[in-house]
Amino acid sequence: MNCGRCSDVREISGYVPVPHKSQLPELRTKTAVREFAGTIGIHPGIVVGRLQHDGLIEPSWMNDLRESFRLVAAK
């Protein structure tokens, strides 16, 4: 995975490229999260998960930007 602005994959931490991580605390609205995610080429739900994990937003905030899925074993 490479955002095109990162020299190699070692610059990527948790799907948010290291050069962009400093912008995370500024993402306080759903619109800002969508725009940021579009800029770096990842799903907004990944950004929300990172914000929640880092304690930058409450675990209940912006969950509608995340997508759930269920794995079903093949029969």
Statement: the pTM of the whole predicted model exceeds 0.85: no
**Residue with the larger pLDDT of the pair 68 and 23:** 23
For residue 44, give the nearest of 35, 53, 52 by alpha carbon: 35
**What is the model's pLDDT at position 47?**
94
Q: What is the overall mean pLDDT for the chain?
A: 83
Name the DSSP class of 66: S
Q: Retrieve residue 20's tokens.
A: 């962009």
- The 10s digit of each residue's pLDDT in 41-68 is 999 999 999 999 999 999 999 999 999 8
Domain-wise residue ranges, the chain: 25-75
- Count the neighbouring beta carbons within 10 Å of the beta carbon of residue 16: 22
Please identify which residue in the block is written with the tokens 């929640």.
Answer: 52
Contact 16, 40 (CB under 8 A): yes
pLDDT grade, residue 2 (50/70/90)? very low
